[in-house]
Structure 1
Amino acid sequence: MSRKNRKPDELRKIEIIPDFQGVPSGVTLVSFGNTKVLTSVGMDNFVPPYLRGTGTGWLNAEYSIMPYATVPRNRREREKISGRTQEIQRLIGRSLRCVTDLGAFGEKTVKVDCDVLQADGGTRTAAITGAFTALYIFFKRCQKDRKIFTFPLTGHIAAVSCGIVEGEALLDLNYEEDYMASCDMNIVGDGKNFAEIQSSGEEKLFTGAQFGKLTELASAALGDIIAIQNRAIKSAL
């Protein structure tokens, strides 16, 4: 597939705006092209029952798509969330816990909210990228305010999508490209190490060589995304 405005290994324009809202103390608006996700971080003074008395905290994530993030209008999930939403929430939570020392903030629960304001492919990877940035800022401010004494993050992650479209490996798929992909992949990591790799074929098998090419594309891009995260973090702190 020949892209009109981007090379196969080129990211969309990425922007991370910290402190998009005044409350809570960790919030970012992240844009991957036309995909825009608001990520917010807060902390509650309790943990799930099975963690009480352990001295260990917890981190979980919630994900939602605003009604007019898509056309036609997306219905709000008021009573029961879909399987897709549950899957994405678990992915975000797992990815962030992978680089978080849950014992560093005691028996508290860190809540990460990811709200998709505009969807054009790659919403889950944008959410992870923005959520990590917001989480970093949140923990640094908690440490400064002496709400915690040890910085809990043990690593740095970002996320990006990629896929095989008409036989070609493409990075950072928009909605149209994702719809046409015979294989799509979401990769979370730091460019050298991975927190998670999700890959699936769509009505067609994909080869080991294609898997390797996609992993290579994403790994190279993660370093660029992390540089953007770091600039946003620096501007906020």
Structure 2
Amino acid sequence: MRSDNRTKGQLRPIKITRHFTDYAEGSVLIECGNTKVICTASIEDKVPRWLKGTGQGWVTAEYSLLPRSTQTRVSREAAKGKQTGRTVEIQRLIGRALRAVIDLEALGERTITLDCDVIQADGGTRTASITGAFVALVDAIDYTFGGHGTFPITDFCAAISVGIGPDGPITDLCYEEDSAAVVDMNVVRTGAGHLVEVQGTGEHGTFTRAELNELLDLAESATDELMNIQRVALGTVADKVGKVYPVESSIEGAGQ
């Protein structure tokens, strides 16, 4: 048993609250144990310069640890005038993960920005951000597209941390476990079982191919469970993912 009495493959309690804020097209509070992240999805009728005239949209992400989300205060990066390498790495990961399950041509020349703000951190903030941001993304698309044309989201997507602790491989590491892990790994998967990203590092030692296989097996089971939680949270909207609807001439006002 672990410090919080979970088995090696057991997730922390997961709670997804949709429509958490009033103004974003999609917004979610995701709670993974003591890790809490607000994820919002904003849609704008514009694209980066290099995509103008292509008929293709874009999905990007921003990530932030709020000042007292950790045991000691973290200074706002805006006050320092630049982002840390960790922040840049995480927001690129979130963007890549969500672009893997959206048809950018069906999206049209629109940009979706996913803002992931960590209000309390206890390990797994990047994976919680991806899992929560997916739900916010679905709600934003549903609000904008409704039942018009191709629903641009092609599949589900979720992420989980796995690692090797003193007693072997474990799933969904809290901060205490993450800081002491021999191996730390983040895995992003789609509903079809395709891997989007695998980030694995021997922090305090090495790992074998057999241990890697066990970590991936744990991640597969965990992300399947997370995607089921996403489906339950989304309710009937979940049925729209991967569907094509009759094309209409305009999507203006759809979903409102």
1:221 maps to: 222
SS at match of 2:68: helix
Q: Give the TM-score taking structure 2 as reference length.
A: 0.88
Q: Which digits, 9 at most, give the CA deviation of each residue in 1:40-76, with x for residues without a partner?
A: 0011222111111111111100000111100210110
Question: Conserved in 1, the CA contact under 8 Å of 2:43 and 2:140?
Answer: no
Contact persistence 1:156–1:190 (CA under 8 A) = yes
1:157 aligns with 157
Alignment partner, residue 195 of structure 1 = 196
DSSP 3-state at the match of 2:128: helix
Cα distance between partner residues in 2 of 1:219 and 1:202? 22
C-alpha contact 2:57 2:110 (8 A) present in aligned 1? yes
One-letter code aligned to 1:174: C
Aligned residues: 235
Q: CA deviation at 1:150?
A: 2.1
- Cα offsets for 1:171-228 (capped at 9, x unmatched): 0000000000010110111362211111011131111111110100010111111111
SS class of match (2:132): helix
RMSD: 1.6
Which residue does 1:72 correspond to in 2? 72
Deviations 1:125-147 (A, max 9, x none): 0000000011111111211286x
| Aligned residue number for residue 88 of structure 2 | 86
Q: Corresponding residue for 1:111?
A: 113
SS of corresponding position for 2:17: strand
Q: Which moved more, 1:71-80 or 1:1-10?
A: 1-10
**1:3-24, Cα deviation, whole Å (9 max, x unpaired):** 4421111100000000111111
Shift of 1:167: 4.3
Counterpart of 1:136 in structure 2 is 138
CA contact (8 A) 1:18 1:236 kept: no
User: 1:233 matched to which residue of 2?
Assistant: 234
Q: Unpaired runs of 5+ in structure 1?
A: none
User: Partners of 1:135 and 1:24 in 2: how far apart?
Assistant: 10
Distance (whole Å) between structure 2 residues aligned to residue 231 and residue 195 of structure 1: 23
- What is the one-letter code of the residue matched to 2:106? A
Q: Which amino acid aligns with 1:210?
A: E
In structure 2, what is the equivalent of residue 47 of structure 1? 47
Aligned partner letter, 1:222: T
* Residue among 95, 98, 114 paired with 2:97: 95
Distance 2:205 2:97 in 1: 28
Deviation of 1:25 (Å): 2.2
Among all aligned residue pairs of Structure 1 and Structure 2, give the percentage whose two residues are the same amino acid. 46
The runs of 4+ residues in structure 1 deviating greater than 6 Å are: none
SS of the aligned residue for 1:133 comes to: helix
Paired with 1:105 and 1:181, the residues of 2 have a C-alpha distance of 40
Give the Cα separation in 2 of the matches to 1:113 and 1:2.
Answer: 32
Name structure 2 gaps, 5 residues minimum.
239-256
What does residue 37 of structure 1 align with?
A: 37
